[in-house]
A and B are shown apart, each in its own frame.
Chain A
Amino acid sequence: MADSGVTDGPEKKEDIERAKNEGKELSKEEKQRLRKEKKQQKKSKEKKDEKEKEKEKKSGGSTATAPQAQPSTQKAPPAVPAPVSNSVPASEPAIPADKPTKSKAELKAERRARQEAERATKQTKKGEPGQQSATGKPKAPPSELQPVVKRLPEHVQVDDPDVLKKLAKKLERQQIPLRSDYGYKVSLFSHLHQYSRKAPPTQQLSIPSTVIHPAIVRLGLQYSQGIVAGSNARSVALLHAFKQVIRDYTTPPNEELSRDLVNKLKPYISFLNQCRPLSASMGNAIKYIKKEISNIPSQCKEEEAKSKLLNNIEWYINEKIILAAKAIAVSSIEKISDGDVILVYGCSSLVNHILCEAFDKQRKFRVIVVDSRPRLEGREALRRLVQKGISCTYVLISAVSYILPEVSKVFLGAHALLANGYVMSRVGTSQIALVAKAFNVPVLVCCETYKFCERVQTDSFVSNELDDPDDLIVTRKGKTQLASWQQVASLGLLNLVYDVTPPDFVDLVITDLGMIPCTSVPVVLRVKNVDQ
């Protein structure tokens, strides 16, 4: 690493030489003073790094992060900014453009910069700390980084009027009615949409719907009213609706099926997004269908192409959802031993399936179903398990720490698994995982690989879903206390749907590829990308 100092400005070289020459003349006090100065500068550099990270979060990722990265690397020997800045643009394109990923690349860059700085300062023990690094260098890298800025998705920028205008224009072009937000939003979540169930998305649609295929209108209604709820159910219903769309589709003259059908699907997807924000599994299913449609050769006849697409959809459902569930059940049953007390939360179709299969294979266990308001989905899980014959206990989430001493395992379902190993699931899951960790109870998350998503999220604020706030209102003994909550200026009702669980609380993820630790999710994603 002596080479790293080669590209120094001439000033620093002189200093070092002077120091070496005069090294014997430096007294012990001076050496201590120098060491203290180095430490202080290191600390101030770290503080600056943290400030930059906070600024990034607040500004939501603007180009400012790129030049801000440069001052932090100024302290390091100047050669370092060149390789670091080169690696940063290289890593960023690798991460797909959908969600804010700058934080990961930024962290890597800063960590690397800090390591280089420490290594360099260890070498130059007697030299002054490298403040005068090449000031000319930082100007070159920002221009490299600027073009690689990621766009934030629209659904987390609701408080930005420009984004809303763009959305309104896009929907108008596609002839889809814009659904307006409802009620006062809690300030931390004012960047998300909040709709009311009493204002259905079909209010402004014509009957019979001509712009949007009737199967999609029906699906959108079922999503917004909660009749189809749950990641797997939504994906299967979506694919079923797409099958009907493809069946009823005819290629207009002078158009190619592979391009026209994708364009036809775009307004449908916007409409479904207006009804209820798309889930990660739905997003992956849509990507798959779009890819299959674009891969249809142009000389293929329409009937043939349509039947091919329908078969592909059937294959996707069969392999990714049904067979995956069977494989996960087989793996999980190994983990269930006789005499187990298993805790489940809410109603996960996969976890219910596993427990029913385990019961069929004569395992002796009992289940504790934990439930939470306002959805109270646990009641449905309870019904299905009891109908099968499994002995169950039912508690609300406020009692979870009282019931955990009895529990031997926790099985959780997932809405999506994020690329940094975090588990996105129904709100309350992270709480259960936390308490289970405190009690040293193993937490197993069951998730099919088609729910793996390339997003990165470390908190539940950035991207979430706000459900109808009126769901929180309850009538007891004829009195509804919150009936006029909109009139109270300082009161806001918050109905969150999802939360993220850090990988430290999850012991094992059971997927159709096997049982993997939470941190192996990016590996699976990479393998999937290579396959495709």
Chain B
Amino acid sequence: MELQAVLMAAGGGSRMTDLTYNTPKAMLPVGNKPLIWYPLNLLERVGFEEVIVITTKEVQKMMSTDPKVKVDVKMKLDVVCIQEDADMGTADALRHIQQKIKTDILVVSCDLITDVALHEVVDLFRAHNATLAMLMSKAHEFTETVPGQKGKKKTAEQRDFVGVDQSGQRLLFMANEADLEDGLSIRKSVIRKHPRMHIKTGLVDAHLYCLKKAVVDFLSENKSISSIRGELVPYLVRKQFSKTTNSEKIKDDCEDQTQKKSDKLFISSRDEPLLQRAQELSCWNDHRGDMSEAYHGGKLRCYVHIMEQGLCCRVNTLAAYIEANRLAPKLFEEPAVHPSSVISERCQMGSDSIIGALCQVADKTSIKRSTIGNSTTVKEKVKVANSIIMHGVTIEEGCNIQGSVICSNAVIGRGADLKYCLVGNGQRIEPEASDTLTFMYCVKTLHIY
């Protein structure tokens, strides 16, 4: 077997608590499908037959009852539950399932929505015998107004500095702004080997990693690493150029113990000398201009595939969630209106709206650029624009909803006028309410006129 897929679905959605305080992130509806459906669909399309899903008990229960996950996903899902309060990082989760892992792994996060050609990432992993191959994408500015946020000012996102070589594929440097104190410091050994480096900041990490099995074994011995993205990846990128990997001196026994841990990362095949010989006989080199052999003789290599075009979205903030709802329907070809819903003829529906199953939309409504979830009732003379309405919502007559997110089972009273609001689960908006840019999710509703 070549690769095993691991889907990380235990995340809490810490950056969008307004949405996730009731529904776990993995089950948030995006385009009327649960968020976890998207990476599962990606893996299935590409040809995986089995996926190990690491998640919480709650999500597991919801997954087993959700028709989308049960019916649409034909792969065998091996669900591993971890405690919600254990505060496990992604690397800790990998350590937890180390026994199940028999070969190289492909780690995907549940909040990734993308249409990338996965073979481009995996080809880098295969062709160069890499230890790590990851996917990144050019970030897009979010243009929609986010409900609940007054003004356009976003909190300063911590930037990621990613250094790649001239070909744009080899990963030379990775650091987050939070870890850098004064400035960017790049080791001399890196510059000596790769004098031309492109440093990019506008990239989104898709959290899709191909890792060698040796890395998982390494993790099981180094228990200090708890996050793949935050600690493991920068560690591997740094280790490519560390002195010990490239020196071939014979080490004595006392150093052997520490070396053995990291040496495990370097052995790529049982017939290492034969592979080495094939590389020596080959007249190919990955760089020009200095006297070193291919890959500078380094055995640990990290590669990145940077997507220029196409959709790659990580749904971990509210703005990303709204953006995803806008873009995700383009990924699949289901009819915009579910056949089981009842739409009256005098309803004006835009072509980029989606209506879920078992909905009832009455006369004289206008629905533009919106997503309406399953079992929602929309009464007469309602205007819905640029909004996301989740499942089981009831919208009474004469409402005007713009740019808002209405969570499941909410009830919007008659004549309410909501602009850029976020209504939490099961909330009731009183009739004739008029709100702009508010959150309504606590038990006591806030009215701001």
Contact = CB atoms under 8 A, between A and B. Distances in A.
Given A207-B122, A247-B270, A383-B291, A240 B275 contact: yes
A205 interface: yes
Interface in B278-335: 278-285, 288, 291
B5 to A, nearest CB: 8
B119 A203 contact: yes
A7 B309 CA distance: 82
Contact of B282 (A200, A214, A228): A228
Interface in A311-354: 317, 346-347, 349
User: Which interface residue of B3, B279, B283 has the most chain A CB atoms within 10 A?
Assistant: B283
A207 B48 contact: yes
A407 to B, nearest CB: 22
A226 B284 contact: yes
B284 A228 contact: yes
Interface stretch (A37-45, A217-225, A493-501): A217-225
B127 A222 contact: yes
A209 interface: yes
Contacts of B271: 240, 243-244
B430 interface: no
A65 interface: no
Given A227-B128, A379-B288, A233 B278 contact: yes
Given A240-B271, A349-B283, A218 B278 contact: no
Contacts of A200: 119, 123
A92 interface: no
A504 B106 CA distance: 57
Contacts of B282: 227-230, 233-234, 237, 349
B100 to A, nearest CB: 15
B270 A207 contact: no
B283 A387 contact: no
Interface residues of B, number: 34
A203 B46 CA distance: 10
Contacts of B70: none
B204 interface: no
B156 interface: no
B269 A221 contact: no
B242 interface: no
A230 B283 contact: yes
Contacts of A244: 269-271
A236 interface: yes
B105 to A, nearest CB: 10
B1 A225 contact: no
A172 B122 CA distance: 24
B126 A217 contact: yes
Contacts of B279: 228, 233
A205 B277 CA distance: 29
B129 interface: yes
B278 A205 contact: no
B2 to A, nearest CB: 4
Interface residues of A, number: 41
Contacts, number: 105
A490 interface: no
A379 B275 CA distance: 23
User: Which interface residue of B49, B122, B278 has the most chain A CB atoms within 10 A?
Assistant: B278
B291 A207 contact: no
Nearest to A375: B283
Nearest to A352: B283
A511 interface: no
Contact of A236 (B117, B270, B277): B277
A206 B47 contact: yes
A377 B285 CA distance: 10
A63 B280 CA distance: 47
A202 to B, nearest CB: 5
Interface string A504-520: 00000000000000000
A207 B123 CA distance: 10
Interface string A181-218: 00000000000000000001011011111100010011
A380 interface: yes
Given A207-B46, A208-B1, A218 B127 contact: yes
Interface string A369-385: 00000000101110100
B225 interface: no
A236 B122 contact: no
B118 interface: yes
Nearest to A212: B2
Contact of A214 (B2, B117, B280): B2
B283 to A, nearest CB: 4
Given A229-B283, A240-B275, A221 B3 contact: no
A244 B288 CA distance: 32
Given A218-B129, A221-B123, A383-B285, 6 more contacts: A203-B117, A207-B122, A221-B126, A236-B274, A244-B270, A349-B281
20 contacts: A205-B47, A206-B46, A207-B48, A208-B48, A218-B126, A221-B123, A226-B284, A227-B282, A228-B282, A229-B284, A230-B282, A232-B281, A239-B274, A240-B269, A243-B274, A244-B271, A317-B274, A349-B280, A349-B282, A380-B285
Q: Would you list the 4 A-B pairs with minimal beta carbon distance, nearest first? A: A206-B47, A208-B2, A347-B283, A233-B282
